[in-house]
Structure 1
Amino acid sequence: MKKTVKIVLISCSLLIVLLAVLIVRPVPIVSESKAISESGIVKEIYTNKGNDIIFIMEHIDRRFYINRGLEHGLELNNLKEKLIGNPIVVKYPDYWTPLDWNNSIRHLSKVEYKDEVLFNELKE
């Protein structure tokens, strides 16, 4: 019985460490050729307490966010005025985290409107 308890404890410990690593790993910064591209019409833009800028687009179930977008010099009111009701192209890395197991919110690496790049953190 003691051997079984040890195996269970070791297995649980390894699982907890693995989950912790998956949760705290940073979002990868990828090159543009490796980023997923999606386009849509902006329906809503808002911020949260972490200064993230969140985009909701028409007919797309997931949300998109620029991590600490307000700290990168982006202005919420300017983005709302320029983008709501207009099409944009967003690019983001393909990654998975247990905190967002169904990929319902995606970290943005690039935001383009017409011929203008509004935000870009892709590798060159």
Structure 2
Amino acid sequence: MKKTIISFIIGLSIIAVCFLMLKSCIIQNPKPEDCVVVEVKVTNITEGGVKDIVFHDDGTDFYYINRGLERGLNLDSLKTKVLNKTVTLHLAKVLGGMTSEHISQLAIEDEIIFTEFNN
């Protein structure tokens, strides 16, 4: 009986830790202070995932706007604005400060092209 209770508590603890880790990977209501700011030269823009917009740099890195095509962004107009130009990206942090490829804000010079930040 005692082993069953201990096993139950350990199992419940493992489930709680897994839940918290998964929840920390979900990006909701990002704030500028929760992001890493990087400058990237965009060399290619494609559609990826489920209506995501993927920005490729001149190396092997890529960054994406989650469901960007559902949010009113257009691949052709983005290509005109940012292709082969250096942009400023706010990338959301996950799991204790690790940087994701999720774009919370995209700007070129002083023009904000996309943002998830609430004003």
Mark yes or no: TM-score above 0.5: yes
Alpha-carbon deviations, 1:65-110, whole Å to 9, x = none?
111101110001221233221111001232228xxxx75x421111
Change (3 A) 1:63 1:6: farther
Ranges of 4+ aligned residues in structure 1 off by more than 3 Å: 2-6
Q: Which runs of 5+ in 1 are unaligned?
A: none
Distance of aligned partners of 1:94 and 1:19 in 2 relative to their CA distance in 1, 3 Å threshold? same
CA distance in 2, matches of 1:19, 1:62: 28
Identity %: 24
Amino acid at match of 1:122: F
- Structure 2 SS opposite 1:109: strand
Q: Which residue of 2 aligns with 1:123?
A: 118
Q: Who is 1:95 aligned against?
A: 94
| 1:1-124 map, 5 Å | 3-4=2-3, 6-24=5-23, 26-59=26-59, 62-96=61-95, 103=99, 105-124=100-119
Number of paired residues?
Answer: 117
Give the Å deviation of 1:6: 4.4
* Two-structure CA RMSD over aligned residues (Å): 2.6
In structure 2, how many angstroms separate the alpha carbons of the residues matched to 1:46 and 1:8?
49
Give SS of 2:78's match: helix
Q: Which amino acid aligns with 1:53?
A: I
111-120 vs 5-14, greater mean Cα deviation: 5-14
Give, in angstroms, the shift of residue 31 of structure 1.
Answer: 3.4
TM-score (norm 2): 0.76
List runs of 5+ in structure 2 lacking aligned partners: none
CA distance in 2, matches of 1:32, 1:47: 25
* AA partner of residue 80 (structure 1): K
